[in-house]
Amino acid sequence: MAAIQRRAIRVRGQVQGVGFRPFVYRLATQRGLSGFVRNDGAGVEIEIQGSPPALDDFLRALRQPPTLARIDALRVDELPPDPWDENAFVIAASGGGAVTADITPDSAICAHCLAELFDPRDRRYRYPFINCTDCGPRYTLTAALPYDRPNTSMAGFALCPDCAREYRDPGDRRFHAQPNACPVCGPRLTLRDAEGQPVAVDDVIAATLERLLAGEVLAIKGLGGFHLVCDAQNAVAVARLRQRKQRDAKPFAVMAANIASLACWVEGDETEWRLLESPQRPIVLLRSPRPPGEGPGERADSSPRPPGEGLGGRADSV
Ligand SMILES: [Zn+2]
Ligand SMILES: [Zn+2]
């Protein structure tokens, strides 16, 4: 049998906040390798020990990282085997060092979280801040690197036992998801009037939708700031928003729940529809078959924001 070897692996790129440590943990434990993975200022550091074929196989698999990750550089060095290695693989406490790692951008809700969001049996049913290792806010809640919960705006929200269990379970898709939250332990919605006083309502999203349909202009606090919103099909409400913003002609972005709900307003091709549904959810300029001034503007916007903002359009069906 080949002698045990140990390797140090340094990974740079977009490797924090993308489920990279859980990914490495799974690759290592599946192959019976030992050692550790941790974040530091420069990216991800791995030390791994085992048989040479298993180590080579691990390195091959490492080059196909999770969806949101991007490896810019990967350096492997041989180390002497560690006789004190405890024959286990762990996610170690983050190290410090000069910060050169990339901060991962926010990513729109993934298909798994979207299914949970509208599943009445799920404990995150209609929870607007749902996220996992494959989706959710990153950049807008990161105050410092390494990317760990105490360095994010989630630091003030202690995980409840259910969320803590998911966070610790290597088989769970929220294993080491730093912004993990639920209605019990995470941020909540509040509705406030124009003076900033809280308004007592049973269901903030339903009450917001009601006000939008009544022609009001609302400010929704999203991940990166406030969005001023109104019903794009209500000409009086749009005119009021234009007046308040002193924006006479420049188009507003139109927010839509999905592509199906956009189809009667704009024309798009395959590439444009794909862009609209990509994890980046960019603002996409689309052709409108209607003359200017008729219909909800000329842009379709679905940039990453709390899934709660998409709940309005579904409120009648939940
Ligand atoms: Zn997700
Ligand atoms: Zn929780």
Structure tokens at 159: 């995980």
Confidence of residue 318 (pLDDT cuts 50, 70, 90): very low
Q: Phi first, then psi: what are they for 8, rounded to 5°?
A: -105, 130
Beta strands 43-50 and 5-14, pairing class: antiparallel
Q: Which residue has the higher pLDDT, 291 or 60?
A: 60
**For ligand 1, a single-atom ion, which residues have Cβ within 5 Å?**
110, 113, 132, 134-135
**Ligand with an atom nearest the CA of residue 132:** 1
Q: How far is the CA of 180 from the centre of ligand 2 (A)?
A: 7
**Model pLDDT for residues 91-143, shown as the tens digit of each residue:** 888 877 766 667 788 889 999 999 999 999 999 999 999 999 889 998 888 88
Structure tokens at 174: 């929220």
Which residues are bridge partners to 227 per DSSP?
A: 220
Q: Do 208 and 313 sit in the same domain of this protein?
A: yes
In a domain, 308, yes or no: yes
Q: Phi first, then psi: what are they for 193, rounded to 5°?
A: -85, -175
**Ligand with an atom nearest the CA of residue 186:** 2
The CATH number of whichever domain residue 239 belongs to comes to 3.90.870.10
In a domain, 181, yes or no: no
Q: What range does the domain containing 229 cover?
A: 204-317
- Distances 175 to 168, 169, 204, 253, 293 between C-alpha atoms, Å: 6, 6, 30, 35, 48
Residue with tokens 């060095």: 77
Residue with tokens 């977009």: 14
Please count the structural domains in the chain.
3
Of 91, 120, 136, the last residue of a domain is 91
Residue 304's pLDDT is what? 53
Query: Which of 175, 51, 184, 67 shows the shortest CA–CA distance to 124?
Result: 184
Q: Do 220 and 304 sit in the same domain of this protein?
A: yes
Contacting residues for 34 by C-beta, under 8 A, at least 6 apart: 28, 48, 49, 50, 85, 86, 87, 88, 89
**Model pLDDT for residues 167-225, shown as the tens digit of each residue:** 988 888 998 889 999 999 999 999 999 999 999 999 999 999 999 999 999 999 877 78
Q: What residue type is assigned to position 229 of the chain?
A: V
Q: Is the bond into 146 cis (omega within 30 degrees of 0)?
A: yes
> How far is the C-alpha of 206 from the C-alpha of 175, rounded, in Å?
32
Structure tokens at 263: 């189809």
Q: Do 220 and 313 sit in the same domain of this protein?
A: yes
Reduced to 3 states (helix: H, G, I; strand: E, B; else coil), residue 113 is helix
Q: If residue 254 lies in a helix (H) or strand (E), which one and from where to where?
A: strand 253-255
Q: How far is the CA of 214 from the centre of ligand 1 (A)?
A: 33
Q: Do 86 and 126 sit in the same domain of this protein?
A: no
Q: Do 9 and 84 sit in the same domain of this protein?
A: yes
* 150: Cα separation from own chain's centroid: 17
Q: Which residue has the higher pLDDT, 302 or 278?
A: 278
**Ligand with an atom nearest the CA of residue 131:** 1
Residue 291's pLDDT is what? 56
**Model pLDDT for residues 97-109, shown as the tens digit of each residue:** 766 667 788 889 9
Q: How far is the CA of 277 from the centre of ligand 2 (A)?
A: 28
Burial class (CB in 10 A: 0-12, 13-18, 19+), 63: exposed
Beta strands 70-79 and 5-14, pairing class: antiparallel
Residue 302's pLDDT is what? 47
